[in-house]
Amino acid sequence: MKILITAELPFDVEAYLKGNEVDYNKGKPLSPKELMKRAKDVDAVISMLSDKIDKDFLASCENLKVVANYAVGYNNIDVQTATEKGVVVCNTPDVLTQTTAELGFTLMMAAARRLPQSEQFTRNKKFKGWKPDLFLGMDLFGKTIGIFGFGRIGQAVAKMASGFNMNIVYNSRSKKTQAELLTGATKVSFEDMVRKSDFVVITAPATEETKHKFTLETFKQMKSSAVVVNIGRGEIIKEKDLVTALQNNMIFSAGLDVYEFEPKIDEGLFKLDNVVLAPHIGSGSYATREAMAKLCCDSVLKVYKGETPKNIV
Ligand code: NAP
Ligand code: GLV
Ligand code: GLV
């Protein structure tokens, strides 16, 4: 089997895939043109979320049978065209759920307690003694958390929030009865979630429906003490509008792992001290990135053998 892996993974994939012909890109990210060239005659591609697996790409592949995306989100892949061409698309659900939820909580707490700003202050030797009003922030305990997109990651965030004695509401298209029982969460309308929450955590996928779900109008409806965290996808928030909201203290702060025009980040965000910026590291623990690599390898091997992996999109 001929497999293209588009970026170097923190796991010995070559040993794991021994016996197969592996074209392993350990250099710079591949441009769309290079990606097409190198995938022309491969049976499988292990792709990154930054690779565009679109119509043109799929049309240029002659032997492609499976694309295993090294991510749970698959908005970089034209799944419909792939399916029409008989190309199986796999992703990495479950193995990254807790790790990503933990980053969500990390961002939430860091944004609520202004951790990067106070760390910077201390590192810059500005700490001259304890003060009653030094870097005051927001409590989580007893507050309301609104989770937008109540799937695997959203529900994991809810479980953590219940340990903080938070009141949990969520918005997704369908009611999640089982998760409600497990976490005590309640389904509310998008508007209610936005108005009532002290913390809003976005864990939805990027789709036509979720694109720009959060605009200036949304931030205007939020509490001025609200903290917004995005660990879903950047395009769910209209980034320019978030900058305006933060500049005008319409909300207290934000914690972001994903960006609308990734890897480009709105210059306005860099100038603000009420936002915590992470470079899309949601699933980035050693153990999880290894588990994701194994899952991608297993997925391509299974499809090649004619088996059906559980993690087909
Ligand atoms: P999941 O289990 O499929 O959960 C996504 C949830 O979003 C679903 O339960 C779905 O529920 C809900 N949803 C979909 N469309 C919606 C809409 N229009 N309005 C409200 N809710 C909507 O996926 P997951 O494993 O939790 O991952 C979620 C997303 O997180 C991924 O797609 C990816 O973009 C992102 N992610 C980011 C990182 C990172 O590094 N920051 C890491 C992993 C994942 P309904 O169908 O009932 O609406
Ligand atoms: C990361 O963003 C993922 O979708 O796994
Ligand atoms: C703070 O350090 C306290 O003891 O309250």
Q: How confident is the model at residue 142 (pLDDT cuts 50, 70, 90)?
A: very high
Does one domain contain both 88 and 147? Answer: no
Where residue 201 sits, what CATH number does that domain have?
Answer: 3.40.50.720
The closest ligand to the CA of 130 turns out to be 3
Average pLDDT of the segment spanning 22-28: 97
Q: What is the structure's pLDDT at 244?
A: 98
Q: What is the structure's pLDDT at 295?
A: 98
Would residue 310 count as lying in a domain?
no
Catalytic residue among 233, 235, 239, 289: 233
User: Ramachandran region of residue 171, left (φ > 0), alpha (ψ -120 to 50) or beta?
Assistant: beta
Q: How far is the CA of 122 from the centre of ligand 3 (A)?
A: 18
Of 102, 105, 203, 259, the one to substitute when testing ligand 1's pocket (max ligand atoms within 8 A of C-beta) is 203
Does one domain contain both 294 and 160? Answer: no
Does one domain contain both 245 and 215? Answer: yes
Does one domain contain both 15 and 81? Answer: yes
Of 51, 53, 72, the one to substitute when testing ligand 2's pocket (max ligand atoms within 8 A of C-beta) is 72
Q: What is the structure's pLDDT at 225?
A: 98
Q: What is the structure's pLDDT at 204?
A: 98
Would residue 311 count as lying in a domain?
no
Q: How confident is the model at residue 133 (pLDDT cuts 50, 70, 90)?
A: very high
pTM of the model: 0.98
Does one domain contain both 168 and 251? Answer: yes
- Would you state the structure tokens that stand for residue 266, as one six-digit string? 């709105």
Of 79, 96, 256, 281, the one to substitute when testing ligand 2's pocket (max ligand atoms within 8 A of C-beta) is 96
Decide if 171 contacts 194 (C-beta within 8 A). Answer: no
Does one domain contain both 264 and 132? Answer: yes
For the chain, the average pLDDT equals 98
Does one domain contain both 187 and 205? Answer: yes
Query: Quick check: CB of 234 below 6 Å from ligand 2?
Result: no
Q: What is the structure's pLDDT at 84?
A: 98
Would residue 309 count as lying in a domain?
no
User: Ramachandran region of residue 149, left (φ > 0), alpha (ψ -120 to 50) or beta?
Assistant: left
Q: How far apart are CA 146 and CA 190, in angstroms?
A: 9
Query: Quick check: CB of 209 below 6 Å from ligand 1?
Result: yes
Does one domain contain both 257 and 149? Answer: yes
Query: How far is residue 91 from each of residues 3, 81, 95, 202, measured CA to CA in Å?
Result: 16, 16, 10, 20
Q: How many helices (H) and strands (E) are present in the chain, helices listed first?
A: 13, 12
Does one domain contain both 170 and 272? Answer: yes
Does one domain contain both 55 and 115? Answer: no
Give the atom of ligand 1 at the shortest distance from the alpha carbon of 284.
Answer: 40
What residues does 227 pair with on adjacent strands? 199, 253
Would residue 313 count as lying in a domain?
no
Q: How confident is the model at residue 310 (pLDDT cuts 50, 70, 90)?
A: very high
What are the φ/ψ torsions at residue 89 (nearest 5 degrees)? Answer: -115, 125
Q: What is the structure's pLDDT at 250?
A: 98
Q: How far apart are CA 27 and CA 90, in angstroms?
A: 24
Q: How far apart are CA 205 and CA 235, in angstroms?
A: 10
Burial 209-244 (b: 16+ CB within 10 A, else e): ebeebbebebbeebbeebbbbbbbbbbbbbbebbbb
Q: What is the pLDDT of residues 43-76, one digit of tens each?
A: 999 999 999 999 999 999 999 999 999 999 999 9
Q: What is the structure's pLDDT at 145?
A: 99
Would residue 83 count as lying in a domain?
yes
Q: How far is the CA of 17 from the centre of ligand 3 (A)?
A: 54
Does one domain contain both 89 and 112? Answer: no
Query: Quick check: CB of 156 below 6 Å from ligand 1?
Result: no
Q: How far apart are CA 202 and CA 207, in angstroms?
A: 13
Q: What is the pLDDT of residues 217-246, one digit of tens each?
A: 999 999 999 999 999 999 999 999 999 999
Average pLDDT of the segment spanning 79-97: 98
Q: What is the structure's pLDDT at 157?
A: 98
Residues of the domain holding 35: 2-95+286-304
What are the φ/ψ torsions at residue 173 (nearest 5 degrees)? Answer: -70, -35
Does one domain contain both 84 and 103? Answer: no
Q: What is the pLDDT of residues 238-266, one digit of tens each?
A: 999 999 999 999 999 999 999 999 999 99
Q: What is the pLDDT of residues 97-120, one digit of tens each?
A: 999 999 999 999 999 999 999 999
- Longest CA–CA separation in the chain, Å: 67
Average pLDDT of the segment spanning 167-190: 98
Domain count of the chain? 2
